[in-house]
């Protein structure tokens, strides 16, 4: 899966909390943000995890 760089403006307190969470999970801040976004997409029904590779998701077309 290709990755695309994206500049992100984020509240300082949120970034600090994300950094602590990333440290607890032994992830980089970038990987933690991607994990949280992916989890939110799956939970909202906007994407489906492809089981063979955890980092890939399949988008769900709106009906």
| pLDDT tens-digit map of 9-21 | 999 999 999 999 9
Residue 2 covered by a domain: no
Q: What is the DSSP letter of 48?
A: E
Global pTM? 0.72
Cα(31)–Cα(46) distance, integer angstroms = 20
What's residue 21's pLDDT?
A: 97
Does 28 reside within a domain? yes
Three-state DSSP at 54 gives: coil
Over residues 20-63, the pLDDT tens digits come to 999 999 999 999 999 999 899 989 988 887 765 556 667 777 76
In a domain, 4, yes or no: no
Give the residue numbers spanning the domain of 48: 12-59
What are the φ/ψ torsions at residue 7 (nearest 5 degrees)?
-70, 140
Q: Name the band, by pLDDT with cuts 50, 70 and 90, for residue 1.
A: low
Contact 47, 41 (CB under 8 A): yes
Number of domains in the chain: 1
């Amino acid at each position: 899966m290709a990755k695309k760089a994206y500049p992100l403006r984020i509240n300082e307190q949120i970034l600090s909390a994300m950094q602590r969470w990333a440290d607890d999970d032994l992830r980089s801040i970038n990987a933690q943000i991607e994990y949280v976004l992916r989890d939110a997409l799956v939970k909202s029904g906007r994407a489906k995890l492809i089981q063979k590779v955890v980092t890939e998701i399949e988008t769900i077309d709106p009906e």
